[in-house]
Amino acid sequence: MSGFERQRLKQNYDVLREWVREYQVSVGALFVLPVFTIILLLLLYPMFNTFWLSVQPTTGIGFTLENYQTMLSADWFGQVFWNSALWVVVGVSLQVGVGFGLALLLNTPFPRQKLVRGLYLVPWITPTVVVGLIFKWMYDPQFGIINWALRWSGLLDSSIAWLSNPDLALYALIIAGLWKRFPFVMIMLLAGLQDVDERLQNAAAIDGVPYFARLRHVTLPQLMPVLKIVVLLSIIWCFNQFAIIFIATGGGPIGATETFPVKVYKLGFQQLEFGLSTALSVVMLGIMILVMIAYIRVLRRRGVKL
Amino acid sequence: MSSGNRQRTNSQSRLQSSRRRAFIKSVGVGGVAALAGCAGSNNESEGESDGGSGTETAGATTGGSDSVTLELIWFNGQATEENLSAYDDAIAAFEESTGHTVDVTKTGQVGQIVNQVQTGVQAGDPVSIAAIPAGACQTLANKEIIEPLDSYIDDADTFSRSDIIRGKLDISTRDDTTYAVPIMSGHWGSLFYNANMLEQAGYDPMNPDFETWPEFISVAEDVKEAVGVQPVGFSGADHIHTTVQWSGFFHTTGRKSWLNEDQTDTFLDKEAGISCAEFTQSAVEKDLLPSGTANMNANGLRELFISEELFAYQVGGFENAILKEQSDIDFGITWNPRAPDGENSGFSGGIFYTLPRGSENQDEAFALIEHLMQLKWLNQYAQLPPVRPDGLQSFFEGTTDGIGRDVSNIFIEEVSNSGFPTIHVNQSRMWEAQRREIQEIILGQKTAEEAMTSLADRVRELL
């Protein structure tokens, strides 16, 4: 590089530095800006396009709320809403309960502790589609290991068609979802538990506070920063869960396992009702935003900051 | 700049522009799927859309000064290497004879093709030709996504309407206007049975003489008693197989559609529909269906059949090769059990060529369709039975079942005499309703008559 070029580069650098100083621009923000812009575009364009498709008439270009009217008056909407609510509420409760219980267990010292912790992560790293297939096979009335074990142990005389029974299918799939998701909750809470102040635990123990009272009043408050994020992410993931259900039952029988994502897929890619499909996607997004707002408000009322 | 350079620069610019548009389209489609929580592929869905997966793009070359570039989306689900190679040869022959360039995108997911066609038309950048499934013809025609083709078909040199199997053009005809050219038939309507089980039950496996539904049920009861399996495979899952299989039985009543000719009423709660539903109900009542049928499609039935846990199930001709490859079972193929006083028939949908609305170079695009509809090419590249009767003969010629009998006549007759449940813009909703009612029968929650009354009411709402 010649001396002239070096001088010009320095001048440009000085101008930029002066501009950054004058307008109090964060240099870090400048570095992040290009990536942030690309991500924003990649997020905003599909979102806008989805909304745009949802308000398009069947033919031509225009604006109509027909898809929303059809969707809200459809006989399946109530069932899909109820299935989704059950799937999320029961699913997340079980995931957090089981994850928390196992985190407490794995936080106590025992031989081969690290190996056991690692093994518990296997479901988490198993692809969701594979989980769907595994459980479909496990629940199979003819070849499935669950029915075989129940028959072998004498608990059942004949197989139960877990995924073909409209009263059982959703709960059977909630167990599959639990198997897939509990390791995430467990590992996050385990990390949180390792940050819990032992002096407080010991002080409470010396004062004769029973185990569950210590858990409630000493451990849980210190876990809240982790727990609130874990619950938030679990709700989002659970609500958007598609592959396990679709692979295992396709939403059946008689719509018993049809949740929002499954219905969106079926409307869009099987029934070619793109307008309805995108309208349902927008409603899904709306429901999720409302749930998040409610969740954050409840936490704030209880003095927990997110 | 020399004219040669300018031409190259323009050509590169067009290519870049085309790639940009393709990128924007794919981001849009991906975005919709991601927003819906459906990001990531799903293999079961491919089963619904005739199976297969993956995409690949054939390379393109620059044509002469009068040449154009055509973009074609082709369905390659279930295609063999020979089929794919033959398709490439057919395209190459067209390029060589016309000087045009054809960019072929091959995909095994028909839903993706339909989505791409619709998004392309709405974005103002449609592909030149797309191969879409039968079920999408009415929907896309109604949404004005595909072009009417009557004038092209009437002027075609390589084929005419009479060259195509009866009923196929009806699927793509809306308000007396034809919107798509049928290529090959997705076919369901032959019964695959375990010959050893039939023999164990005291019947001649080489000459199965059960022709009607009651005869079939009676034989199935004997097989159940002799072998100890739940012998009858009915698809009952919330899956397209449940519609096409049940419809395969329905068409044996002599009705080629669930709807009447002017689409103002349905036969579902009449003799045809109720008797077909009673066939399902009788199998349920006699405990002939395997446990879990309400969550089982034909893929599950195949697993049971290969494990010798099932006596018989209805499926299409494509199953023959799959069973031969995946098992060493002695299986026979026979006519689809039919309604008493009915006829040999089955379900048949298929794949159709369309010109998306507003696409460029439509004359050249239809010339390519004409080229691909020539029997010499169609017979080579069609992975499903071709829609031309002469092609059908050659497609099934010498086909034998698992016990070495020539069964080509069974397939040919059933494809030629097949039906399609609903040629209507709301057909997907009707099909979904049908699956729900069949599940109700299988789960014992409704009688055949109740289910068909409820289904007919729903169908009439949608007409």
pLDDT in tens, B242-285: 999 999 999 999 999 999 988 899 999 999 999 999 999 999 99
SS3 B120: helix
Distance CA B18, CA B364 (A): 19
Checking if the pLDDT of B39 tops 50, the result is no
Predicted local confidence at residue B143, as pLDDT:
86
Residue B53 touches partner A, C-beta closer than 8 Å:
no
What the block records as the tokens of B66 is 């009068």
Distance CA B25, CA B120 (A): 7
Residue B42 touches partner A, C-beta closer than 8 Å:
yes
Contacts of A227 (CB under 8 A, 6+ apart): A96, A189, A192, A220
Section B25-36 average pLDDT: 42
**Tens of pLDDT, residues A111-134:** 888 888 889 889 999 999 999 999
Per the listing, tokens 């009439």 go with: B460
The model's confidence at residue A196, banded by pLDDT at 50, 70 and 90, is: confident
Section A247-256 average pLDDT: 92
Taking an 8 Å cut-off on Cβ atoms, the answer to whether B27 and A45 are in contact is: yes
DSSP, res B253: G
B36, B139, B439: residue with CB nearest A264: B36
Checking if the pLDDT of B43 tops 70, the result is no
Angle, CA of B361, B365 and B368, to the nearest 5°: 145
Residue A272 touches partner B, C-beta closer than 8 Å:
yes
Predicted local confidence at residue B177, as pLDDT:
94
Predicted local confidence at residue B55, as pLDDT:
31
Contacts of B115 (CB under 8 A, 6+ apart): A268, A269, A274, B29
Predicted local confidence at residue B115, as pLDDT:
85
In chain B, residues with a C-beta closer than 8 Å to the C-beta of A142 are 290-292, 304, 307, 309
Q: What is the 3-state secondary structure (H, E, C) of chain A?
A: CCHHHHHHHHHHHHHHHHHHHHCCCCHHHHHHHHHHHHHHHHHHHHHHHHHHHHCCCCCCCCCCCHHHHHHHHCHHHHHHHHHHHHHHHHHHHHHHHHHHHHHHHHCCCCCCHHHHHHHCCHHHHCCHHHHHHHHHHHCCCCCCHHHHHHHHCCCCCCCCCCCCCCCCHHHHHHHHHHHHHHHHHHHHHHHHHCCCCHHHHHHHHHCCCCHHHHHHHHHHHHHHHHHHHHHHHHHHHHHHCCHHHHHHCCCCCCCCCCCHHHHHHHHHHHCCCHHHHHHHHHHHHHHHHHHHHHHHHHHHHCCCCC
**Tens of pLDDT, residues B375-396:** 899 999 998 899 988 888 888 9
The model's confidence at residue A1, banded by pLDDT at 50, 70 and 90, is: low
A252, A270, A280: residue with CB nearest B295: A252
Give residues 137 to 156 of B whose Cβ lies within 8 Å of A. 139-140, 142-144
Predicted local confidence at residue B41, as pLDDT:
34
- Least confident interval from A48-62, A95-109, B70-84, B127-141: A48-62
- Least confident interval from B16-30, B408-422, B447-461: B16-30
**Tens of pLDDT, residues A120-173:** 889 999 999 999 999 999 999 988 999 999 999 999 888 899 999 999 999 999
Predicted local confidence at residue A192, as pLDDT:
92
Nearest to A305 by CA among A237, A203, A225: A225
Distance CA B380, CA A145 (A): 45
Q: What is the phi/psi pair of residue B53, to 5°? A: -160, 175
Distance CA A92, CA B288 (A): 39
Domains and CATH numbers, chain B: 46-179+351-386 (3.40.190.10), 187-348+403-462 (3.40.190.10)
In chain A, residues with a C-beta closer than 8 Å to the C-beta of B35 are 46-47, 50, 281, 284-285
Nearest to B230 by CA among B309, B298, B294: B309
Section B153-157 average pLDDT: 91
Which amino acid is residue B228, in one-letter code? G
User: Which helix (H) or strand (E) element contains residue B309?
Assistant: none
Which sign, positive or negative, has the C-alpha torsion B297, B300, B306, B312? Answer: negative
Residue to mutate among B38, B46, B422, with most A CBs inside 10 A, is: B38
pTM of the entire predicted model: 0.81
In chain B, residues with a C-beta closer than 8 Å to the C-beta of A58 are 142-143
DSSP, res B184: E
Checking if the pLDDT of B288 tops 70, the result is yes
Section B152-177 average pLDDT: 89
Taking residue B233's Cβ as centre, other Cβ atoms within 10 Å add up to 29
Interstrand relation of B55-57 and B101-107 (parallel, antiparallel or unpaired): antiparallel
What the block records as the tokens of A239 is 């609500």
Per the listing, tokens 């102040």 go with: A197
What the block records as the tokens of B150 is 């009557």
Return the residue of B nearest to A274 by Cα. B115
Q: What is the phi/psi pair of residue B399, to 5°? A: -75, 125
Checking if the pLDDT of A197 tops 50, the result is yes
Axis crossing angle, helix A220-240 with helix A169-193, rounded to the nearest 10? 140
The model's confidence at residue B42, banded by pLDDT at 50, 70 and 90, is: very low
Evaluate whether A262 touches A249 at the Cβ level (below 8 Å): no
In chain A, residues with a C-beta closer than 8 Å to the C-beta of B237 are 249-250, 252-253
The model's confidence at residue B186, banded by pLDDT at 50, 70 and 90, is: confident
Domain ranges of chain A: 1-54, 75-301
Taking an 8 Å cut-off on Cβ atoms, the answer to whether A45 and B428 are in contact is: no
What the block records as the tokens of A129 is 């589609």
Express as a percent the part of chain B with pLDDT over 90. 63
Per the listing, tokens 């590169």 go with: B12
What ranges make up the beta strands (E) of B351-429?
351-354
Predicted local confidence at residue B196, as pLDDT:
96
Residue B295 touches partner A, C-beta closer than 8 Å:
yes
Give residues 58 to 117 of A whose Cβ lies within 8 Å of B. 58-61
A129, A253, A268: residue with CB nearest B295: A253
Checking if the pLDDT of B22 tops 80, the result is no
Q: What is the pLDDT of chain B when averaged over all its residues?
A: 85
Give residues 12 to 51 of A whose Cβ lies within 8 Å of B. 42, 45-47, 49-50
Residue B429 touches partner A, C-beta closer than 8 Å:
yes
Q: What is the pLDDT of chain A when averaged over all its residues?
A: 90
- Structurally, what CATH architecture does the domain formed by A75-301 represent? Orthogonal Bundle (1.10)
Q: How many CB pairs under 8 A join A and B?
A: 168
